[in-house]
A and B are shown apart, each in its own frame.
Chain A
Amino acid sequence: MTTRDIVFVAVGAVTALSALLSVTTKHVVHAALWLLVSLGSLAGAYLVLGQELVGLVQLLVYVGAIVVLVLFALMLTRAPIGPHAEIDTPRWQRVAGAVLGGATTALLASLLLPLFAGATADLDRPSTTTPQIAQAIFGTWVWPFELLSVLLLVALVGAFAVSRIVLQRDGADRHDADHPDHPDHHDSHDDGDRTAATTAVTSEPGTGRVG
């Protein structure tokens, strides 16, 4: 056991323990907060492994953006505060899930541990430094990198479209059922009411009657 081994065991124990708590806790909001602890300490694990760029991006994107997005989703779906048994499946299903999770861990460990059995990384002379990663991204990997920007744009438009399409169906159905005389007025009014409680993206007044 070298010093880095001991540090990694400490950071990894925090990661695994908080991950365990985030999938078992009965508090809905605590699950997201334990996920935050788990992903943050996983960024620390990347630092111990010598990949400081990956650790910082993990901190920025996962801890900074994704967990905050999850917390927003929990708030917007009126997550109950306090312990809540309703968020878990029945006991037999949880037992089956634990068996399957344990089987996944056993399978992966039995495959990976022999694979990495004698492998060590000398992190005082790292094989991959940040300048090398930058050169690789903008050299070898430049086309996947550009495709990823397209993917992000598609995801943004897709998320927007998903919320818009269903809102319009709601508005149209409501107008057919209740107010056949004033479709436009009721439609936009209904949209405004609903989006006010949901997302900032869809609540702009100018987008009330898109399409």
Chain B
Amino acid sequence: MIHLSLPAALAALLAGLGVYGVLARRNAVLVLIGVELILNAANLLLVTAGSRPGAPLSAGPVITLFVITIAAAEITVALAIILVMFRRTGHIDLTAVPDLSDEPEPAGEGAP
């Protein structure tokens, strides 16, 4: 037997830590680490809710597996974008002033 308020409290704590990680980091990859923590808080909450007696359709663990899959897809695209950003700007600092000079590309920054 386990009291389900313990995993619920851990999920709340992980979500708060993830929000701090997103807000306190400048490195784009480290911001993604905060996003992963928030997603894991959601997963833990789903598992917790799914292990209450009488939860229908096995929804808790099944949706947790789906969220894990979506997280894998999300981080693939996000890391591809971060690598492109590094190749074009030479850094992955999210607070840096964007380089608006048209020197490397004559078409301009806003061109599709």
Q: Which residues of A contact B (CB under 8 A)?
A: 2, 4-5, 8-9, 12, 15-16, 19-20, 22-24, 28, 31-32, 35, 38-39, 42, 45-46, 48-51, 53-54, 57-58, 61-62, 65-66, 69-70, 72-74, 76-79, 86-89, 93-94, 96-98, 100-106, 108-109, 112-113, 115-117, 119-124, 126-128, 132-133, 135-137, 140-141, 144-145, 148, 151-152, 154-156, 158-160, 162-163, 166-167, 169-170, 173, 176-177, 194, 198-199
The SS class assigned to the A binding surface is helix
Interface pair B29/A128, CB less than 8 Å apart = no
A175 to chain B, nearest CB (A): 11
Interface pair B8/A123, CB less than 8 Å apart = no
Chain A residues with Cβ below 8 Å from B58 are: 128, 132-133, 135-136, 140
Q: How far is the CA of A115 from the CA of B84 in the complex (A)?
A: 44
Apart from the given pairs A49-B47, A116-B5, A141-B57, 5 other A-B contacts in the complex at a CB distance below 8 Å: A12-B7, A16-B14, A23-B24, A62-B36, A121-B53
Interface pair B53/A127, CB less than 8 Å apart = yes
The SS class assigned to the B binding surface is helix
Q: How far is the CA of A187 from the CA of B80 in the complex (A)?
A: 21
Nearest B-chain residue to A12, judged by Cβ: B10
Chain A residues with Cβ below 8 Å from B5 are: 112-113, 116-117, 119
Interface pair B104/A136, CB less than 8 Å apart = no
Q: How far is the CA of A32 from the CA of B36 in the complex (A)?
A: 11
- Take A66-B71, A76-B83, A98-B24 as given contacts and tell me if A22 and B33 are in contact as well, using a CB distance cutoff of 8 Å: yes
A180 to chain B, nearest CB (A): 12
Q: Which residues of B contact A (CB under 8 A)?
A: 1-27, 29-30, 32-34, 36-37, 40, 43-45, 47-48, 50-55, 57-62, 64-66, 68-77, 79-84, 86-88, 92-93, 95, 104-107
Chain B residues with Cβ below 8 Å from A194 are: 87
Nearest A-chain residue to B45, judged by Cβ: A112
Q: How far is the CA of A156 from the CA of B69 in the complex (A)?
A: 13
Nearest A-chain residue to B10, judged by Cβ: A12
A5 to chain B, nearest CB (A): 6
Q: How far is the CA of A121 from the CA of B27 in the complex (A)?
A: 41
Nearest A-chain residue to B16, judged by Cβ: A105
